[in-house]
Amino acid sequence: MNTAVSVSRWRHPRFGYLEAMSVEEACALLGEHREKAYLVAGGTDLMVAMRNGKIAPPEHVISIKKISNLSYIRDEGGELKIGALATLDDICHSDMVKEKFPLIAESARQIGSRQIRNVGTIGGNLCNAAPSADMAPSLIGLGARAVIRSTEGSREVTLEEFFRGPGQTSLGRGEMLVEIAVPEQAPYTGGAYIKLPARTAIDLALVGVACVITLDAEKSKASEVRIVLGAVAPVPMRACKAEDALRSALINDEAIDASAEIASQEALPISDVRGSAEYRRAMVKVLARNAIKQAVARA
């Protein structure tokens, strides 16, 4: 249970507003102001966190909204490349994404409301590093990489390594996320993301589970499987033991149930106002089973 004493905390914090016109400029500003600054794109997470006191007001907010050519969604030789500024709405309406990576469109569509998807960006959803971030489980399941830039150059990490804790990423000083790269998926691959919110829409995940599975040509065994859990650990986490169990088994209801059970044991949920740890753990089992079954059906 959250023990925070809630007495009106609404603030109108004062901060400097800086506008970067290019990635280079944004990185330079980040290097200059270091931990005293935040990047803002859609602002749907940052502004709320600043207003309700969940984060200490920064000295500067660096807007990257005006950086051009960073909202692309394109197919590069089978790989999907999404610019950090692509809005969630752009992603769920991209024909290419819907056709080749339907799981990504499906996950984006489950975030917030139309209004929020219109301004919220994929980069923001990931850099906010909420354990419940809806894009994270699916992208980790698909083996996505985060492309990171700084004034020093560019590097890539897997999205799995990108998250370090609630609100914490592996971005270093002067670094920003510029792109999400999703590898081409093998034949017979299917994916699903199942989210349990408190109500049907405009809500955070109480638990979210993504499964991406690649079956062999006979569709009896999984050559590759990823099960990723959201909102039940400090970071979106892979249920590795559950994956192992499924990888070595014949795909049937029994194996799926066993894998889902293992996933629920692997989860590290906490109790808060949205739900108890026990309930979340129980739901991982239900959602993991459903996600695996759906992914298998789509493979």
Partner 1 sequence: MGGKVQELSYVGKDVPRVDAVVKVTGKAMFGSDFTMAGMLHAKVLRSPHRHAKIVSIDKSKAEALPGVRIVVTPDDMPQIPISPLLGDQCVLSKDNKVRCLGEPVVAVAADSVEMAEQAVQLIDIVYEELPAVVDIEEAFEKSPPVVVHPDLPGYKQLTGLPIRPDPERPNVCQTYKIHQGDVESGFKQADLIVENRFTTARIQHVPMEPHIALAWVDSDGVLTVRSSTQLSYLVKDWLCRAFSLSPSKVRMLSPFIGGGFGGKGGMRAEAVATLLCLKSGRPVRVSYTREDMFIFGGHRVPYVMDIKDGIKKDGTLVAREMRVLLDLGAYSDFGPLLVRRAVYGAVGTYRIPNFKLDSYGIYTNSPLTGALRGFGCPEVQWPIEQQMDALADKLGMDPVEIREINILKDGDRDVSGMITRSMGVKECLDRAADWISWGKKEKEADGPWKIARGIAIGNKSVSSGHPSAVTVKVWQDGVVEVRHSAARLGQGISTTVGQIAAEQFNVPVEQVRVTCGDTSFCPYDFGTVASRSMVHVGNALIAACQDAQQQLFRIAAPKLGVEPSEMGIGAGKVFVKRTPEKSVKIAELFTPFGLPLGRVEIVGEGYYSAPAVPEDPETGQSERAVFGYSHAASGVEVAVNVETGEVKVLRHVMACDVGKAVNPKIVEGQIEGGIGMGIGTSIYEEVVMNQGAVVNASLTDYHIPTSLDMPKYEDSKAIIVEVADPEGPFGAKGTGEVPLVTTAPAVANAVYRATGVRIKDLPLSKEKVLAGIQALGKTL
Instruction: Using CB under 8 A, list all residues that contact partner 1.
Output: 1-12, 48, 52, 196, 198-204, 273-276, 279, 282-283, 286
Give dist(CA 270, CA 253) in Å, integer.
29
- Tell me the two tokens of residue 104: 């990504």
* Nearest distance from C-beta of residue 172 to partner 1, angstroms: 30
User: Whose Cβ is closer to partner 1: residue 48's or residue 240's?
Assistant: 48
Element containing residue 288 per DSSP (H, E): helix 277-298
Identify the three-state secondary structure at position 154: strand
C-alpha torsion angle, residues 32, 86, 149, 183 (rounded to 10): 160
User: Whose Cβ is closer to partner 1: residue 198's or residue 240's?
Assistant: 198
For residues 174 and 150, is the Cβ–Cβ distance under 8 A? yes
* Nearest distance from C-beta of residue 4 to partner 1, angstroms: 7
* Nearest distance from C-beta of residue 61 to partner 1, angstroms: 16
* Nearest distance from C-beta of residue 112 to partner 1, angstroms: 11
User: Whose Cβ is closer to partner 1: residue 52's or residue 252's?
Assistant: 52
CB atoms within 10 A of CB 254: 10
* Nearest distance from C-beta of residue 90 to partner 1, angstroms: 22
* Nearest distance from C-beta of residue 195 to partner 1, angstroms: 12
User: Whose Cβ is closer to partner 1: residue 5's or residue 217's?
Assistant: 5
User: Whose Cβ is closer to partner 1: residue 51's or residue 221's?
Assistant: 51
- Tell me the two tokens of residue 17: 């507003």
In whole angstroms, what separates CA 207 from the centre of its chain? 13
In terms of Cα–Cα distance, which of 141, 290, 161, 123 is closest to 212? Answer: 141
Looking at residue 66, its amino acid is K
Q: Where are the extended beta strands (E) located within the chain?
A: 16-19, 37-40, 60-63, 73-76, 79-83, 145-150, 153-158, 163-165, 168-169, 176-182, 189-197, 205-215, 222-230, 237-238
User: Whose Cβ is closer to partner 1: residue 110's or residue 169's?
Assistant: 110
